[in-house]
Structure 1
Amino acid sequence: MTTKKILGEERRKLILSWLKSTNTPITGNDLAEKTGVSRQVIVQDISILKARNHPLIATAQGYMFIKPNHEEQTVRQVIACKHHPNETEEELLLLVDHRVTVRDVMIEHPIYGDLTGSLMLNNRHDVLQFTEKMRETKAVLLSELTEGVHLHTIEADRMEHIEAAVNALKQRGFLLN
């Protein structure tokens, strides 16, 4: 099926509208197919929209619009972790199983300073999709640049969920004291 090519501003308005209308990520390939342009054009469009201060993030699952009202209803905490790369899936599953969203991963790089990668992992499906993509692409985890040390911004609708997740990480030895 061939889609009619949608030009510039009209395409960016559509992309923004589609992202605002869903709580799930939309891949660059899906946006490219819907608008009849290449994925690289979509990457450029997203960069333009971000430069215009639209709250967009790129996750392993696709692009998302961060809705302000969602952030007001959640509790957030930054946690410090350390583990081997082969324990990443276990760590992330442990967090989402406690009804916690893993927003991002951060490291302190000796040259670039703080580096952050958006994750937005909400459930087991998201985590398994993320770890499968890591295996397929043979990508290096940010934490591999810092001997396993990394931070996560986590959020939940109740502080009890965060506390339970943190306690589980501590019991497993993943929490950096």
Structure 2
Amino acid sequence: MSEGKRILGEKRREFLLSLLKTSSNPITGSELAKKANVSRQVIVNDMTLLKAKNEPIIATSQGYLYMLQPGVQQSFEKTIACCHSPLEVENELFLLVDNGVTVKDVRIEHPVYGDLTASIMVSNRKEVIQFLEKIKNTSAAYLSELTEGVHLHTISAANAQSIADAEQALEAAGYLVDENN
């Protein structure tokens, strides 16, 4: 893409989609804006339009990510219930990613708004650290603070054993909610 040349409309969205599909890492809105020579707000609007066309794009704390990437098979998925203090978030996420699990999101049941879900999309310690730094730098609260620590995570992995190992590690740490209560 030549410097200064702006890509317009549908061609730009096709270009952005191509970039996302070929990247194994999230791409920030600012990076996409620079490549397409448009503002970040234009990128936000383009992502909304692409999502409306059912493109599996999610916005993570690290940038935009296309979810159906060739060669990436994370066919095992499970929702788990956890409860812990904000001080234990880092340990919880490390336990999950250290066992080969991707933490896709966090979900709470709010008394007024109902289910609130936020994308996390972390699969290694570096991504966990970046996520936690973003929380700290923006002074944002964890969703679980609204529910006294109770929350759900959608987790995925390449195999069922990784999920079982992650659950066992969370249980040993006292983070899993006992299903019998």
The TM-score with structure 2 as length reference comes to 0.92
Per the TM alignment, residue 4 of structure 1 is displaced from its structure 2 partner at its CA by 2.4
Structure 1 position 133 matched with structure 2 position 127: no
Separation in 1, partners of 2:4, 2:122: 31
1:115 aligns to what? 116
Matched, 1:53 2:54: yes
Alpha-carbon distance in structure 1 between the residues aligned to 2:111 and 2:72: 31
Confirm or deny: 8 A CA contact 2:24 2:69 kept in the other structure. Answer: no
Higher mean C-alpha displacement, 69-78 vs 111-120: 69-78
Q: Deviations over 1:117-148 (max 9, x none)?
A: 11111100100010011111111111111111
Please tell me the residue identity of whatever aligns with 1:96.
Answer: V
CA–CA distance in structure 2, aligned partners of residues 162 and 11 of structure 1: 39
Aligned counterparts of 1:104 and 1:23: Cα–Cα separation in 2: 18
3-state secondary structure, aligned to 1:53: coil
RMSD of the TM alignment (CA)? 1.7
Residue number in structure 2 paired with 1:22? 23
Whether the 8 Å contact between 1:3 and 1:35 is mirrored in structure 2 is: no
Q: Distance in 2 between matches of 1:3 and 1:106?
A: 42
Provide the rounded CA distance (Å) in 2 between the counterparts of 1:106 and 1:25: 21
Displacement, 1:11? Answer: 1.0
Q: Is the 8 A contact 2:22 2:69 kept in 1?
A: no
1:104 aligns with 2:101: no
CA distance in 2, matches of 1:19, 1:10: 14
Residue 75 of structure 1 aligns with which residue?
76
Given that 1:101 and 1:155 are in contact with CA atoms closer than 8 Å, whether structure 2 keeps it comes out as yes
Q: What letter corresponds to residue 11 of structure 1 in structure 2?
A: R
Unaligned 5+ segments in structure 2 are none
Moved more, 65-74 or 101-110: 65-74
Residues 28, 63 of structure 1: 8 Å contact kept: yes
Q: Give the secondary-structure state (helix, strand or coil) at the position aligned to 2:25.
A: coil
| Change beyond 3 A, Cα 1:10–1:140 | same
Aligned-partner Cα distance in 2 for 1:113–1:23: 33
Q: Which runs of 5+ in 1 are unaligned?
A: none
Shift of 1:112: 1.8
8 Å CA contact 1:104, 1:119 repeated in 2: yes
Q: Aligned in 2, Cα 1:3/1:169: closer, same or farther, shift over 3 Å?
A: farther
Q: Distance in 1 between matches of 2:69 and 2:132?
A: 28
Deviation at 1:2, TM superposition (A): 5.2
Q: What secondary structure sits across from 1:135 in the alignment?
A: helix
* Structure-2 separation of matches of 1:107 and 1:71: 28
Task: State the shift of 1:69 in Å.
Answer: 6.2
With structure 1 as the length reference, what TM-score do the two structures score?
A: 0.94
Aligned partner letter, 1:100: V
In structure 2, the residue matched to 1:66 is: 67
